[in-house]
Structure 1
């Protein structure tokens, strides 16, 4: 029987990912099979999980996915010794309006699966108040159970002692305290952590994090705090249709934001994925019946994309007879032009009229519910798609036929409708699931 544990915190930036990776690697080094998941729509952390555990990690999301899909996804942990679900933002942070089976909060997953929560608390600038915060999180929502706390970035032994005493007095277990340790800081950029595949030293960094955490955290006590768990058969599986039978998938440093469960769903439905690299000036495979350009960092590689004539000409030729779809960064590359952060305008493929700019950055972030007005690969007009948008680009022009009526999680209509022209379509949101 596996044991399940959720790793969360009062807020973002406290150290959830580092602790998750460290625990996973430390237990793996002890011979345990460790399975990780990511609660919420973060498409970067699962690759770090896989690097730490040697097992593929996927996202689970209570706003976009139904209970059956979530149970189906987590059932891959049935042969593991310990299953870790890393949360997003703060424990109870979600959207105001309930989605399919929750608000997207990590607490939804903890309650649904019956797994206790290991809190990461950063007591910088406070002492006993950290215990008040932990106690408030423990008592905020019936059905969410607190396993205990790991303190992160404690300033001194005296600081640790003050916080520990207050937590123990509040009846909260303290599994360990981590001093500040710059050597295990994960590098970041504007959309989150620098991706695992871009970091040649990621294995060494995770090893150092595991060593450091093993020195300061009672790994056996944390393991004992996890809940015994036997996954139940799910009534339903993944609700994601493949966009085609043979899918040409752009995949490199500029096109890398792909939810792992999407690729698994496509393969499970019998589709074949044919990766190609626009940055290497490659074209979609001639035998593909659809091309998919995921999001990523085209703004960091705009000059190179603009100069890769073989890629651009090949994609244009492909789009004359077969569907092409782009998500976020992929959508921008399908457009007419992209202006980078330095104000330099780069011509893109011109398959759509979209123009975007990073010269004046503005964050666009949140869940999206789209009702398709036109077809897109794998989905008919009228389909209701759930996804998530996160980018800093500004729309300069979006002249083509809108692909969908798009609402945010509050029900408000937003301007990022996506576009459709001929066989080509694009959205700013990353698809997570279609409503059943």
Structure 2
């Protein structure tokens, strides 16, 4: 069956509920697959840390409805249990064609034909909880509410009032979390602090497991979470028009506390197309891995670790030298910032970075967030001029200088918002704030690897 964990709004505790469910199942040795609705990178890191299986993003804006269905079927077919963590409130999405809540948690639940476990914050409610639950249950009859989790319950007396209010609805209460039992996960300017940065993560998971054991109705929950065998899906690279290369193309992927925003599907697609991914750390390593033919810099938190990145001069110089020599390079958001001359942090202090891009990334309080439609303004090694792609922005930095040779013309999904020019492109360099999912843009990783292969051949011929 599998459940979708949804909330009435952001901040009601659906991530805590999801992690508690995952901790309980994983602690008992069950293979469990987690999914996350939307473009988020950080919540999936926690899912992955608990289950030891890569969490998969389900985002029909960055991919497609068909891809979401295929991804879910592909990765839930070989596990005992699976669950999907939603995004924002249950019906919060964007207007897209005839779908008014496109990419919402409700949209994904309908798309996958899955029931919803609704998390409700009860901290300021008693009898009114019934009106809220009834509204969510009846708003869209296509979305089945399997039950609710009552979070932030103040006392046993408070819980009884909530139960009395919900009783006429015959809506199962599948979990109860009291206010004093609330587990806080530290956060900062882009959301939760990633799992790898939190000391004592196993202790946190143990606490979640204990809470889950005591406060969920497992007799009713387990059958709902049981994964159902689904129809086999097409191969990962169906329709790409290319086959994996016999000789692996070695790609250095920046992977550490500063750079960790990667969709697992993107990495899988690169591997399926013939890449050998070699992870290295711009924080700790003093040189690039030997024999590489391309560089991949994902997003992350280079601003948080700017002093360490700046102090690792050998790594910065090695990257600049490699890019200047023509190595094919793909950089998103935090990767773009690292390739600039400097990062200027929230305190106004400047830190030297790679310097291959003639710009400075300046941190600010303003959050840039949302889906973007981008049109390539000229031919690049990834796509021809006029190519339209969909991406996602999520950052609190801005570039000090507007590029004179922009990569994209970018628009939002709000008609009144003016277009902006964004990104850098050079012969073998793609750098942009846009995060892309390769699921339905598989020509991008394919062209990336072709360019890596061809530039290596040229270099070999020169020697």
Greater CA deviation, 420-429 or 37-46?
420-429
Partner residue, 1:389: 393
| CA distance 1:132–1:416, change in 2 (3 Å) | farther
- 1:319-338 CA-partner distances (Å, limit 9, x unpaired): 12122222111111111222
Question: Is the CA contact 1:416–1:427 (under 8 Å) kept in the aligned structure 2?
Answer: no
Question: Is the CA contact 1:408–1:414 (under 8 Å) kept in the aligned structure 2?
Answer: yes
The answer on 1:311 being equivalent to 2:315 is: yes
Structure 1: give runs of 5+ residues left out of the alignment.
none
Matched pairs, number: 432
Task: Please report how far the alpha carbon of residue 86 of structure 1 lies from its aligned counterpart in structure 2 after TM superposition.
Answer: 0.4
Question: Is the CA contact 2:407–2:421 (under 8 Å) kept in the aligned structure 1?
Answer: no
Partner residue, 2:356: 351
TM-score, normalised by the number of residues in structure 1: 0.92
Partner residue, 1:164: 163
- SS of the equivalent of 2:308 reads helix
CA distance in 1, matches of 2:51, 2:315: 35
Partner residue, 2:138: 139
Partner residue, 2:202: 203
Partner residue, 1:405: 409
- SS of the equivalent of 1:292 reads strand
Task: Please report how far the alpha carbon of residue 150 of structure 1 lies from its aligned counterpart in structure 2 after TM superposition.
Answer: 0.6
Question: Is the CA contact 2:5–2:86 (under 8 Å) kept in the aligned structure 1?
Answer: yes
CA distance in 1, matches of 2:331, 2:346: 21
Task: Please report how far the alpha carbon of residue 378 of structure 1 lies from its aligned counterpart in structure 2 after TM superposition.
Answer: 4.5
Partner residue, 2:82: 83
Task: Please report how far the alpha carbon of residue 130 of structure 1 lies from its aligned counterpart in structure 2 after TM superposition.
Answer: 2.0
Partner residue, 2:461: none
The 5 A counterparts of 1:14-413 are 14-74=12-72, 75-98=74-97, 103-181=102-180, 184-226=183-225, 229-235=228-234, 237=236, 245-320=249-324, 321-358=326-363, 360-374=364-378, 378-410=382-414, 412-413=417-418
- SS of the equivalent of 1:418 reads strand
Question: Is the CA contact 2:287–2:315 (under 8 Å) kept in the aligned structure 1?
Answer: yes
| CA distance 1:364–1:341, change in 2 (3 Å) | same
| CA distance 1:216–1:222, change in 2 (3 Å) | same
Question: Is the CA contact 1:154–1:160 (under 8 Å) kept in the aligned structure 2?
Answer: yes
- SS of the equivalent of 1:118 reads strand
Partner residue, 1:10: 8
Question: Is the CA contact 2:341–2:353 (under 8 Å) kept in the aligned structure 1?
Answer: yes
| CA distance 1:149–1:314, change in 2 (3 Å) | same
Greater CA deviation, 92-101 or 308-317?
92-101
After superposition, the CA RMSD in angstroms is 2.5
CA distance in 1, matches of 2:171, 2:400: 52
Task: Please report how far the alpha carbon of residue 61 of structure 1 lies from its aligned counterpart in structure 2 after TM superposition.
Answer: 0.6
- SS of the equivalent of 1:22 reads helix
| CA distance 1:151–1:117, change in 2 (3 Å) | same
Task: Please report how far the alpha carbon of residue 201 of structure 1 lies from its aligned counterpart in structure 2 after TM superposition.
Answer: 1.6
Question: Is the CA contact 1:340–1:357 (under 8 Å) kept in the aligned structure 2?
Answer: yes
Question: Is the CA contact 1:354–1:395 (under 8 Å) kept in the aligned structure 2?
Answer: yes
Structure 2: give runs of 5+ residues left out of the alignment.
443-463
Task: Please report how far the alpha carbon of residue 310 of structure 1 lies from its aligned counterpart in structure 2 after TM superposition.
Answer: 1.0
TM-score, normalised by the number of residues in structure 2: 0.87
CA distance in 1, matches of 2:35, 2:57: 6
Question: Is the CA contact 1:339–1:356 (under 8 Å) kept in the aligned structure 2?
Answer: yes
